[in-house]
């Protein structure tokens, strides 16, 4: 599988004490999601954004049976893992690694951290949920140790059903995360200033 390079911004990895891994949505790019950092309280963070091949992490809906999104889903999770490894290679510990994703990137973000639950700095999911035709608890393991997670979404959203968001919140909580879930009526498939403010206050303002 062709590996796209990881784009970086913000503080150079070699001198950063914290890292934010940013995961773009379907049809987006690493450059797009990195531009969001201008609105976040992430001064001093190294910013790392993997790029999906042909701008999509997996071809079908995140609600499809996972087998229908293979081998792309496994490759996408591995791309996130490689990005985490880059931060760890310079000595940034997991409690200083943060994640942020939008839409398909939010789904991939939540799926990755739930499969590797541990004490992270924090997680922001702008419109996303755990991946699969249903949530299979046996897929997930570990202990978030009170990692703060923010999930914001619209009711309705054309891609992400609210019931999947709520079920994801429940599972993440069982794994020990402190989840703040905000469901906005008719927000649309976007990121709002209120969500950014909450992410700054709940996740990056610690």
Average pLDDT of the residues of the chain: 96
Q: What is the pLDDT of residues 89-142, one digit of tens each?
A: 999 999 999 999 999 999 999 999 999 999 999 999 999 999 999 999 999 999
| C-alpha to C-alpha distance for 106 and 25, rounded to whole angstroms | 7
Confidence check: pLDDT of 68 > 70: yes
Assigned domain for 1 exists = no
8 A C-beta contact, residue 103 and residue 195: no
Position 189 confidence tier, pLDDT thresholds 50, 70, 90: very high
| C-alpha to C-alpha distance for 14 and 12, rounded to whole angstroms | 5
Count up the domains in the chain and report the number. Answer: 1
Assigned domain for 2 exists = no
CATH of the domain at 49: 3.40.50.1820
Confidence check: pLDDT of 3 > 90: no
Range of the domain at 43: 7-204
Q: How far is CA 148 from CA 80, 86, 120, in A?
A: 19, 22, 8
Assigned domain for 194 exists = yes
Contacts of 76 (CB under 8 A, 6+ apart): 52, 57, 58, 108
| C-alpha to C-alpha distance for 69 and 107, rounded to whole angstroms | 13
Q: Which residues pair with residue 23 across a beta bridge? A: 101
Assigned domain for 130 exists = yes
């Amino acid at each position: 599988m062709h590996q796209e390079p990881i784009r970086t911004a913000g503080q150079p990895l070699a001198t950063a004490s914290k890292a934010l891994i940013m995961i773009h949505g379907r049809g987006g790019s690493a450059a797009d999601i990195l531009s969001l950092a201008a609105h976040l309280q992430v001064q001093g963070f190294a910013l790392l954004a993997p790029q999906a091949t042909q701008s999509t992490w997996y071809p079908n809906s995140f609600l499809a049976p996972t087998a229908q999104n293979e081998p792309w889903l496994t490759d996408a999770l591995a791309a996130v893992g490689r990005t985490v490894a880059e931060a760890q290679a310079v000595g940034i510990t997991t409690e200083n690694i943060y994640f942020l994703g939008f839409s398909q990137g939010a789904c991939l973000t939540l799926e990755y951290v739930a499969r590797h639950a541990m004490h992270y700095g924090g997680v922001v999911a702008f419109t996303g949920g755990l991946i699969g035709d249903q949530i299979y608890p046996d897929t997930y393991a570990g202990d978030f140790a009170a990692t703060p997670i923010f999930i914001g979404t619209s009711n309705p959203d054309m891609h992400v059903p609210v019931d999947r968001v709520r079920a994801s919140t429940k599972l993440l909580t069982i794994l020990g995360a402190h989840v703040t879930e905000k469901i906005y009526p008719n927000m649309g498939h976007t990121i709002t200033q209120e969500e950014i403010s909450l992410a700054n206050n709940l996740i990056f303002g610690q």
